[in-house]
Chain A
Amino acid sequence: MSYFLKRILYVIPVTLAVGLFCFSLVHLSPGDPMDAVVSADAPSEVVQMVQRAYGFDRPLPEQFGRWVLRAVQGDLGLSAANGRSVATEVFSALKNTLLLTVAASLIGFTLGCLFGTLAGYWQGSLLDRLVTGLAVGSVSIPHYWLGMLLVIVFSVELNWLPSSGAGPGSSGDWAFEWAYLRHLILPAITLSVIPMGLVTRTVRAVVAEVLANEFVEALRAKGLAGTRVFLHVVKNVAPTALAVMGLELGYLIGGSILVETVFSWPGTGLLLNNAIFQRDLPVLQGTILVLAIFFVMLNLIVDLLQAQLDPRIKRG
């Protein structure tokens, strides 16, 4: 039990470090954060007033302290570009990103586990070579390119599916309806390709490795049939597969920038993309912070699940 407690407490310093990093981002990046708010030729009184309003005139440690205090209360400041609440923007974008990520990982992880298991069980077979080829291909394809290709084929040429947005209208609400789902299909497929390849390759390798273990022969020697042996294999493969999928999920949430940009999907990726181009540092800061904390939590869950599945982890 102490492993679990230790692992949970470990989140606190990591989160603080992440926060410090996000905070410093504003001051480490080249250029003045004020550039985006006031024009270069504004009178100095205006600049000073805005500086006070944003708190940029205080010493750095104090700025960090205030920033943390407000962040804990869910206040991530105001967008430098449009003055809207960063928290509102980030969370509504996060919702869309999660939607896309969950859809993509459902596709990618399911296919990856399926292909990887088949290839691992029948290592060296034609099926194995086919699956491995597919996996290498899918990891190698740049996904923004694949996204554009899919748009050209299915949106422009065939006109089956929409090429951009998360749904009809721009209200930001989402419903489990075909009108919304059809918007999800192309970006989700595009985003699922890389995790599918990675999960396929990992699961294939781990299944093959587990099958080569002596205990598998011992399981057959005690009279267990194929399906029962498979169950043992699955539980042995699960910790590693879970770790990879957890990391991939985190990567998907943060790394969907390109796919969201290609499909104009109103998620954190698009938000980050726009914030970078507008030098909107509060939005950048807030988005990265939320994504990082999300990633930390995801890792925590994966680690706890892993320890639950493999008793040897708790010892280390």
Chain B
Amino acid sequence: MNHPAVAGRDEANAPQRLVDIADLHVGFQSPERYVHAVNGVDLTLERGEILTILGESGSGKSVTLRTLMRLLPEKRAHLRGRVNVDGRDVLAMSRRELSRYRGRSVAMIFQEPMLSFDPVFRIGDQIAETVRRHEGVSHAQGLARALELFEMVRIPSAKRRLGNYPHELSGGMSQRAMIALALSCRPKLLLADEPTTALDATVQIQILLLLKELQRELGMSIIFVTHDVGVANEVSDRIVVMYAGRIVESGSVGEIIGRPSHPYTIGLMASRASGEQRGQRLNAIPGAPPDLSLLPSGCAFAPRCPRAVDTCRETLPAAREVSVSHWAACHRLEA
């Protein structure tokens, strides 16, 4: 393994995967109970790849994303496993190393762009602050970079907008500004936590297209987290589906959307609204997600699964290959 101080700077000698997560467990300790949020996730990401983690709330997708930056509350969150990003062991980083790594190697955009800026500082200053932090340039140089970034994310009258406060921007505009902020130090990996959920439908697609275009231009990798199958379909190369802190299915977009294999994924796809179904009830998956402090010993989806048999309730299903690049963790794939 590379030493964290020297690894990751030299791209030519870095043939390894950008992200390599192995057997990640994340638990949250509260006075009353211990919540198993992530339970043995293995995940890899190639350079330049766009991956979507698809799942409902409480599936562990956002927690997995935050682990890549170690943004979870230090005292309450228990992390176990291996998280390597660009050859560096994220879980072993010191506080100093972490703050240099965050925003520079890996950046993040959030669900509520309006709430993700400090309300009492000008947007331009907040971007310049980041550039200064990581590149040691002057505030004026930071502002100049912010202007370039605003033009790159196509914010109209960019110069004037830099002097705006967050509350003076619309939702779509502030998500563009957030993207500009995230890309300010040219990260290799962009983490997007439901970046379009809080936006209008028409703005959503603009933001997704912009992200895709910037990804191609800058050659970075993106991990999207969403519960929206439409968003996943629009942007990703590959999709992993999470349920109760585990990845239950993984494959290319075409495979997951076109040939879902895990009963949970099949349920998710069937529950989408589409034009032909006008007037019919949506096919919701019966039941509710499991209590993460009392996980069953077998498959966590078994209580809601139409195919479940006794084996499912007793033993945890291992990943089984559907095709070369497509697998699902289910005992009853053939049923």
CB proximity to A under 8 Å, residues B56-70: 69
Contact between chains at A221 and B102 (CB < 8 Å)? yes
Q: A221-B71, A221-B102 are in contact. Are A215 and B133 (CB under 8 A)?
A: no
A214 closest partner in B (C-beta): B115
Contact between chains at B103 and A222 (CB < 8 Å)? yes
CB proximity to A under 8 Å, residues B99-113: 99-104, 107-108, 110, 112
Contact between chains at A215 and B102 (CB < 8 Å)? no
Which of these, A217, A221, A236, contacts B120 with CB under 8 Å?
Answer: A236
Number of interface residues of A (CB under 8 A): 22
> How far does the alpha carbon of A309 sit from the alpha carbon of B160 in the complex, in Å?
20
> How far does the alpha carbon of A315 sit from the alpha carbon of B95 in the complex, in Å?
39
Q: Is B181 an interface residue (CB 8 A)?
A: yes
Among listed A24-32, A180-188, A223-231, A296-304, interface-contacting one: A223-231
Number of interface residues of B (CB under 8 A): 29
Q: Is B130 an interface residue (CB 8 A)?
A: yes
Q: A232-B121, A311-B167 are in contact. Are A223 and B116 (CB under 8 A)?
A: no
Q: Is A305 an interface residue (CB 8 A)?
A: no
> How far does the alpha carbon of A110 sit from the alpha carbon of B14 in the complex, in Å?
53
Contact between chains at B120 and A224 (CB < 8 Å)? no
Q: Is B119 an interface residue (CB 8 A)?
A: yes
Which of these, A213, A220, A223, A311, contacts B115 with CB under 8 Å?
Answer: A213
Mark contacts of A282-312 with chain B using CB atoms, 8 A cut-off: 1 yes-contact digit, 0 otherwise.
Answer: 0000000000000000000000000001111
> How far does the alpha carbon of A213 sit from the alpha carbon of B95 in the complex, in Å?
21
Q: Which residues of B contact A222 (CB under 8 A)?
A: 102-103, 107, 129-130, 133, 181-182
Q: Is A36 an interface residue (CB 8 A)?
A: no
Among A217, A232, A239, max chain B CB count under 10 A is at A217
B134 closest partner in A (C-beta): A223
Q: How many A-B residue pairs have CB under 8 A?
A: 74
Contact between chains at B116 and A312 (CB < 8 Å)? no
Q: Is A70 an interface residue (CB 8 A)?
A: no
Contact between chains at A214 and B103 (CB < 8 Å)? no
Q: Which residues of B contact A224 (CB under 8 A)?
A: 99, 103, 129-130, 133
Contact between chains at B99 and A214 (CB < 8 Å)? no
Q: Is B118 an interface residue (CB 8 A)?
A: yes
Q: Which residues of A contact B95 (CB under 8 A)?
A: 225
> How far does the alpha carbon of A215 sit from the alpha carbon of B108 in the complex, in Å?
12
Contact between chains at B103 and A221 (CB < 8 Å)? yes
Q: Is A235 an interface residue (CB 8 A)?
A: yes
CB proximity to B under 8 Å, residues A240-278: none
Q: Is A5 an interface residue (CB 8 A)?
A: no
Q: Is B264 an interface residue (CB 8 A)?
A: no
Q: Is A219 an interface residue (CB 8 A)?
A: yes
* Chain A to chain B contacts (Cβ below 8 Å), 23 pairs: A213-B115, A214-B110, A214-B116, A217-B71, A221-B108, A222-B103, A222-B129, A223-B99, A223-B100, A223-B102, A223-B104, A223-B133, A223-B134, A224-B103, A224-B130, A228-B129, A232-B121, A235-B121, A236-B118, A236-B119, A311-B119, A311-B120, A312-B165
Known: A223-B100, A312-B165. 13 other contacts (CB 8 A): A218-B108, A218-B116, A220-B71, A220-B99, A221-B107, A223-B101, A223-B103, A223-B104, A232-B118, A235-B120, A309-B120, A311-B120, A312-B167
Chain B positions near chain A (C-beta within 8 angstroms) = 69, 71, 95-96, 99-104, 107-108, 110, 112, 115-121, 129-130, 133-134, 165, 167, 181-182
